[in-house]
Structure 1
Amino acid sequence: MTGDAFLAFLAEYWLSLVSIICLLLLSAFFSGSETALTAASRSRMHMLESNGDQRAGLVNRLIERRDRLTGTLLIGNNLVNILASSLATSLLIGLFGDMGVAITTLVMTVLLVIFSEVLPKSWAIASPDRFARAVAPVVSPLVAVAGPVSALVNAIVRRILNLFGVKLSSDMPMLSAHEELRGAVDLLHREGSVIKADLDRLGGVLDLGELEVSDVMIHRTAMRAINAEEPPEVCIREILESPFTRLPLWRGSTDNIVGVVHSKDLLRVLAEPDVEPERLDIVKIAQKPWFVPDTTNLKDQLNAFLRRKLHLAIVVDEYGQVQGLVTLEDILEEIVGDIADEHDIDIQGVRQEADGSIVVDGSVPIRDLNRALDWSLPDEEATTVAGLVIHESKSIPEERQAFTFYGKRFIVMKRVKNRITKLRIRPAEDDAPIG
């Protein structure tokens, strides 16, 4: 074909060429919109909508019906791609004859991949929130018009998949809100945007619903309480010398908790005139005890503490036996954790040795150890380090016995009756023979 013939061909088919270019631009719009609206941050859109951004509100409403949105954009994208390819085939067959089909396939593949897929999607993924807000006013009426067609296509797809045993549910998310939030925070931590302390605090908040009171309570063996049958002056001295402001009061046995004494209430009574300490009735000063089941999760217990404006509760099992006590501070510590720098281990009952090993009391909670040392020991089956060793060994270990699991070497240093009271922990690969 000569140059003049080619120019005549272009003059005759210029409308088709412009149409192909416009269709490629539409294809780029659909591809970029799909990527941006799928990757847009729902939390940021919600915040912008709260601040009065109407376009962010459009994005939120589009994302709420993600299946209809995606279906509409895919239908539009495929429609313009097929139409552009058909026009190009018609043009190039007229220009090159039968070779036009092969040339069309090659040319349109290159154009569609570069200008209608990679370029717009790369642009959209680079700034999804801004891109989504820009295209939302155009996409919204398209979804309103093509939404029923998209719904019909989705219904057909679900029916076909059901024939193969694949069940799809648009109402059931794959991840819960907590799991999505936890995954997002963990990803930001790995990327360096969230420091470990913030990761631990946010993780502590999310874990409250999964932990029970029994996981954080002070066990009855470590619980300090006052015997109401002791002489008043002895009780007063124990209360005032105690590092705690609230102490349980028992009578007859430690399972019979009759009250909780607050040191401020005691001091207030002692400050009154004509009060003789040796004749003081401690039980009358004590507040009524509050008993909670050991299976209560920490989220409910925290809400109960705030609702009742109390700071201490007595933990009992299903038989009503006292298991320990839990305080508001115990739950808050699950959120804020312990304060320690990168070199010091600031947990009670934990000591770092010169050889790099860690000596811990058996009663140290696994969660506290994981937080301080950035370990990942499991705490589903046991709450304390001693409990973890007993669970994994399926026995009550003897002193100097050693076990290796989860990449650590646990050596029992001290045992009192059936309780492991002290252990040494070191990396498994650094373990040396025990002499």
Structure 2
Amino acid sequence: MDDISTGVLLSILFVLILLSAYFSGSETAMMSLNRYRLRHLANSGHKGAKRAIKMLERPDRLIGLILIGNNLVNILASAIATIIGIRLFGDVGVAISTGVLTLVVLVFAEVTPKTVAALHPERIAFPSSVILRVLLVVLSPFVKVVNFITSGFLHLLGIHSVKNDDALSQEELRTVVNEAGALIPQRHQEMLLSIMDLEKVTVDDIMIPRNELYAININDDFKSINKQVIQSPHTRVLLYRDTIDDAVGFVHLRDALRLQSKGQFSKSSLLRAVKELYFIPEATPLNVQLSNFQHNKERIGLVVDEYGDIQGLVTLEDILEEIVGDFTTSMVAPPSEDITLQQDGSYLIEASINIRDLNKEMSWHFPIDGPKTINGLVLEYLEDIPEPNTSMRLYGYPLEVIDVADNMIKTVRVMPQHYLPPKVTND
């Protein structure tokens, strides 16, 4: 070293600091790459993306390579800086060179390149991957030794795999959709989130309850049956014998009207026109039922409990409405028709309204993991059938029972302007 001039040593030190900056920036750039954009670019034929994704398949090798290079140049830089310091300042030069080199490396070989790489990872990572791939081949023996020792320590810590797992959880995917901003229209975001929520919603949550089914008793007077067919608000009508649990099948109004036009309309011909019933177990998640509808080529089914009793009816349209919103041909009235705004800011609400629909319509927060209707929620809370004018605060919302009939709460008044968040108790 004594034969090398100070100017040459300074030039070598400058090159080493540049190499340190390169390794520091490359590490940050490679680790900051968006894995999904990277995969998209690779599938599109981008060579830099293909190189980067290949190297990121084994992050232990990539990090080992970069750290070997970075530490090597930093140690050499430290040695050369010490020699320069001693030449220029004597023994005190050791301390001076250490302080100056620390500052230079920190600013120009660490913070600055890593910041630039974090802001523009693709601009740094893709060109760097060419050099890194060559270095990986040249320094392969050293990298393998370092990785072997590192893997031993990782095994002691219980880490047995060093491969990347880029799979998103459902909540992470939800966050990605929410943060997409202008990249995905708001309406499309809502639909994507609704699709992810299908597994959290069951057929019980969206079914038309049995007491609201429009059905025809085949044992009724024929004139009554004929009238009900003509006045049916739906294209498919359920036929039963005396009780809903003794369901016969669904008849399409198109078939019934064709029989009427031919003068062949009778109970026997109507029974011959019914379609076989399709039953759905209660608590079936909507994502499963959507697949079942497709597999069985069905559009409508009866929800039954564990005893085989019919609980309600679900259609393919009901499930699709959970994704895209209400259709104009919905079999049930929209929630807004069951909600009436009063002059004092309160709302008169039909107690049979579905709580999920009410929460969606009003952006309220009634629980949905228990009773399905406001009537059921109040009865569960009071554990009794209340008298009219009974008031309570239900999950933070002031609520008054307005009308009770047939052992059911018919109408309630909710005053959301006086809502108070429920107190959370720590047991």
TM-score range, shorter chain: 0.7 to 0.9
Q: 1:424 to 1:285 in 2, by over 3 A?
A: same
Match of 1:249 among 230, 234, 239: 239
In 2, the alpha carbon distance for the partners of 1:45 and 1:149 equals 29
- 1:90 pairs, out of 58, 83, 104, with 83
SS state at 2:390 partner: coil
Aligned partners of 1:89 and 1:101 also within 8 Å: yes
Q: Which sits farther off after the overlay, 141-150 or 327-336?
A: 141-150
Q: Helix, strand or coil: the match of 1:208?
A: helix
Match of 1:3 in 2: none
3-state SS of 2:314 partner: strand
Q: Could you say which residue in structure 2 is the equivalent of 1:180?
A: 172
Decide which moves more: 325-334 or 247-256.
247-256
Q: Is the 8 A contact 1:251 1:258 kept in 2?
A: yes
Moved more, 236-245 or 56-65: 56-65
| Alpha-carbon distance change, 173 to 379 in structure 1, aligned in 2, over 3 angstroms | farther
Task: Give 1:260's aligned residue.
Answer: 250
CA deviation digits over 1:66-121, x for unaligned, max 9? 45544544454444334433432333233323433433343233323322333223
Determine if the alignment matches structure 1 residue 60 to structure 2 residue 65.
no
In the superposition, the TM-score normalised over structure 1's length comes to 0.79
Matched residues in 1 for 2:274 and 2:6: separation?
Answer: 96
Letter in 2 for 1:94: R
Structure 1 contact 232–277 (Cα < 8 Å) conserved = no
Amino acid at match of 1:329: E
Alpha carbons of 1:233 and 1:397: their partners in 2 closer, same or farther (altered >3 Å)? closer
Residue correspondence of structure 1 range 222-241 to structure 2 within 5 A = 222-241=212-231
Counterpart CA distance in 2 for 1:96 and 1:396 is 93
Give the secondary structure class of the aligned counterpart of 2:276. Answer: coil
Gaps of 5+ in 2: 329-333, 422-427
C-alpha separation between the residues in 1 aligned to 2:346 and 2:375? 17
Deviation at 1:59, TM superposition (A): 3.1
- 1:315–1:326: 8 Å Cα contact kept in structure 2? yes
In the alignment, which residue of structure 1 is the partner of 2:331?
none
Assess, with a 3 A threshold, how the Cα gap between structure 1 residues 284 and 61 changes in structure 2: closer, same or farther. farther
Match of 2:197 among 170, 182, 207: 207
Preserved CA contact (<8 Å) 2:397 2:420: no
Quote the Cα distance in structure 2 between the aligned partners of 1:91 and 1:47: 49
Return closer, same or farther for 1:356/1:126 CA change in 2, 3 Å cut-off. farther
Shift in alpha-carbon separation, 1:245–1:430, aligned structure 2, 3 A: same
Does the residue aligned with 1:250 lie in a helix, a strand or coil? strand
C-alpha deviations, 1:236-288, integer Å up to 9, x for none?
A: 432332222122222232112221122223233334x3x33245532211110
Contact 1:351 1:358 in 2 (8 A): yes
Quote the offset at 1:331 in angstroms. Answer: 1.0
From 349, 354, 367, the equivalent of 2:338 is 349
Is the alpha carbon distance of 1:409 and 1:40 closer, same or farther for their aligned partners in structure 2, counting shifts above 3 Å? Answer: farther
1:282 to 270, 281, 288: 270
Q: How many residues align?
A: 409
> Superposed, which structure 2 residues align to 1:256-405 within 5 Å?
256-271=246-261, 273=262, 275-278=263-266, 281-338=269-326, 347-375=336-364, 378-386=367-375, 393=381, 395-396=383-384, 398=386, 399-403=389-393, 405=395
Cα distance in structure 2, aligned partners of 1:427 and 1:157: 60
User: Structure 1 143/248 Cα, relative in aligned 2: closer, same or farther at 3 Å?
Assistant: farther
AA at the equivalent of 1:177: S
In structure 2, what is the Cα distance between the partners aligned to 1:323 and 1:36? Answer: 58
Aligned mates of 1:408, 1:92 — CA distance in 2: 75
Of 123-132 and 238-247, more deviation after overlay is shown by 123-132
Distance across 2 between alignment mates of 1:75 and 1:381: 59
Shift of 1:51: 2.3
Give the equivalent residue in structure 2 for 1:158: 154
Q: In 1, distance between residues paired with 2:170 and 2:177?
A: 11
Q: Distance in 2 between matches of 1:382 and 1:129?
A: 52
Q: Cα gap change, 1:23/1:325 in structure 2, threshold over 3 Å: closer, same or farther?
A: farther
2:144 to 139, 143, 148: 148
| Distance of 2:315 and 2:155 partners within structure 1 | 54
Q: Aligned to 2:5, what secondary structure does the other structure show?
A: helix
Residue 114 of structure 1 aligns with which residue? 107
Say which SS state the counterpart of residue 258 (structure 1) adopts: strand
Q: Distance in 1 between matches of 2:89 and 2:194?
A: 69
Identify if the C-alpha distance between structure 1 residues 200 and 106 changes in structure 2 by more than 3 Å, giving closer, same or farther: same
Decide which moves more: 422-431 or 32-41: 422-431
TM-score, scaled relative to structure 2: 0.80
Q: Distance in 2 between matches of 1:183 and 1:54?
A: 30
User: Deviation of residue 318 (structure 1)?
Assistant: 1.9
Q: Distance in 1 between matches of 2:11 and 2:79?
A: 14
The alignment partner of 1:221 has SS state of helix
Shift of 1:388: 5.3
Asked if 2 retains the 8 angstrom alpha-carbon contact of 1:232 and 1:281, the reply is no
Cα separation, 2, equivalents of 1:334 and 1:284 = 34
Out of 311-320 and 414-423, give the one that drifted further. 414-423
State the shift of 1:25 in Å. 2.7
**Gap change, CA 1:252 and 1:262, over 3 Å in 2:** same
| Farther-moved stretch of structure 1 (373-382 vs 15-24) | 373-382
Check the 8 A contact 1:232/1:282 in 2, yes or no.
Answer: no
Q: 1:255 to 1:194 in 2, by over 3 A?
A: same
Q: Which amino acid in 2 is paired with 1:181?
A: L
Aligned residue number for residue 424 of structure 2: none
Q: 1:359 to 1:278 in 2, by over 3 A?
A: same
**Cα distance, 1:203 vs. partner?**
0.9
* Amino acid of the structure 1 residue aligned with 2:293: F
